[in-house]
Amino acid sequence: MNRAISHFLLILILSLTSLLMGCAGALLGNGERPQNNEVREQRSVEQITADGTITSNIRARYANDVVLRKLNISTYRGVVTLQGVVPTQNVMQRAIGLAQSVKGVRQVRSGLRLR
């Protein structure tokens, strides 16, 4: 009986270990994939949290605008990337300006396109 319990515990430990190792990349990388063939470094929990806060604050500033709230926003180490389609150059500049005004933003990369 002890041998069966030992085998069960060994299998359980190995299963949990492999499960947790598979999740580590998603947790450290915030589930985001590198864009434009860039290699991303691992971020600390604090940096992931700060990036999430920046993204949330930008989304809050865009919330009342029908066009801006449809844009895709990603943040990595304080660098914000905006993607989507906007109707005019003025709307594009407003989107970039609002993102730049959020605390913690180091740079805004625009992948916005005119309709």
Instruction: Report pLDDT digits (tens) over 27-63.
Output: 444 445 555 555 566 899 999 999 999 999 999 999 9
Q: Is residue 38 part of a domain?
A: no
pLDDT score, position 26: 46
pLDDT score, position 75: 97
Q: Which residue has the higher pLDDT, 64 or 39?
A: 64
Residues 6+ apart with CB under 8 A from 107: 78, 79, 80
Q: Is residue 12 part of a domain?
A: yes
Give how many domains the chain has, as a whole number: 2
Q: Is residue 70 part of a domain?
A: yes
Classify residue 9 as exposed, middle or buried by CB count within 10 Å of its CB (0-12, 13-18, 19+).
exposed
- Nearest CA to 84 out of 67, 72, 102 is that of 72
Q: How far apart are CA 15 and CA 5, in angstroms?
A: 15
pLDDT score, position 47: 96
> What residues make up the domain containing 101?
43-115
- Tell me: do 18 and 47 sit in the same domain: no
